[in-house]
Chains A and B, each alone.
Chain A
């Protein structure tokens, strides 16, 4: 079964608007971490934001916030005030358990920001 599901292959948003990228996950481990990465056309993977399963508040990093709904097993990325430079692939990933880290990635969402 898929551990990380990103159902949106592509998303479009206008500059300065907010956009939500969906991510659902599947785990029976009570301890896990959720990550979002950005991959521009150059191919590099850029870490954006992290949410731990025991964190009480939603994570925020500048224009990025993570809408963490534990009961629904969803960890959606919200980008506020989109910029042209936000156009990229976005990947959701999960680490299960404590200790050694092994990240499992979703298939990604391609975001296009238009002027």
Chain B
């Protein structure tokens, strides 16, 4: 069966520290992968998406970057975190066109 794993579940990081969030998908090949961020009490904002290994598209210019080193692995990174990077980060992959996304369980990041 197809599953998506995202970790860690929660993270508290100081301003200026690096970040690495990992997302992996099982049970499928060549998925479309996405990173979304949700600020407290807000909707989801698409940050990055990838249609294949090494192919990354950025939706919003920011302090973050993404990489896809393997077919089923998607990584969100930052060299130096800002307070405004706090939020709930969700990884997702797309299945059939009429099934939308399947989301990971999310990472709640607090930058202090």
In chain A between 13 and 51, which residues have their CB closer than 8 angstroms to a CB of chain B?
33, 35, 37, 42-45, 47, 50
The reply on A105 being an interface residue by CB < 8 A is: yes
Q: How far is the CB of B35 from chain A (nearest CB, A)?
A: 12
Q: Say whether A102 faces chain B, with CB atoms less than 8 Å apart.
A: yes
Contact of B32 among A52, A100, A105 (CB under 8 A): A100
> Whole-angstrom distance from the CB of B41 to the nearest CB of chain A?
9
Bound complex: CA A69 to CA B66 (Å):
38
Residues in B neighbouring A42, C-beta threshold 8 A: 105
Partner of A45, one of B46, B49, B51, B90: B90
List residues of chain A with CB within 8 A of the CB of B34.
Answer: 102
Q: Is the CB–CB distance between A101 and B43 below 8 Å?
A: no
Q: How many residues of A contact B (CB 8 A)?
A: 23
Contact between chains at B103 and A101 (CB < 8 Å)? no
Known contacts A100-B51, A101-B94; A47/B99 CB under 8 A: yes
Whether the pair A107, B42 counts as a contact (CB closer than 8 A) is yes
Q: When the two chains form their complex, are residues B90 and A50 in contact, meaning their CB atoms are under 8 A apart?
A: no
One of A33, A93, A104 near B97 (C-beta < 8 A): A33
Identify which of A45, A50, A108 contacts B103 (C-beta below 8 A). A45
Bound-complex Cα distance A35 to B34 (A):
17
Pick the contact of A93 from B42, B49, B100, B105 — CB < 8 Å? B100
Chain A: minimal CB distance from B31 (Å): 11
- A95 to B108 Cα, complex, angstroms: 26
Return the chain B residue nearest A59 by Cβ.
B98
Residue numbers in B under 8 Å from A47 (CB-CB)? 99-102
Write the B37-58 contact mask toward A (1 if CB under 8 angstroms, else 0).
0000011101001010000000
Instruction: Tell me if B88 counts as interface (CB < 8 A to partner A).
Output: yes
Asked if B105 contacts A43 (CB within 8 A), the reply is yes
Roughly how many angstroms separate A101 CA and B57 CA in the complex, as a whole number?
A: 13
Alpha-carbon distance A45/B87, docked complex (angstroms): 15
A43 to chain B: closest residue by CB: B106
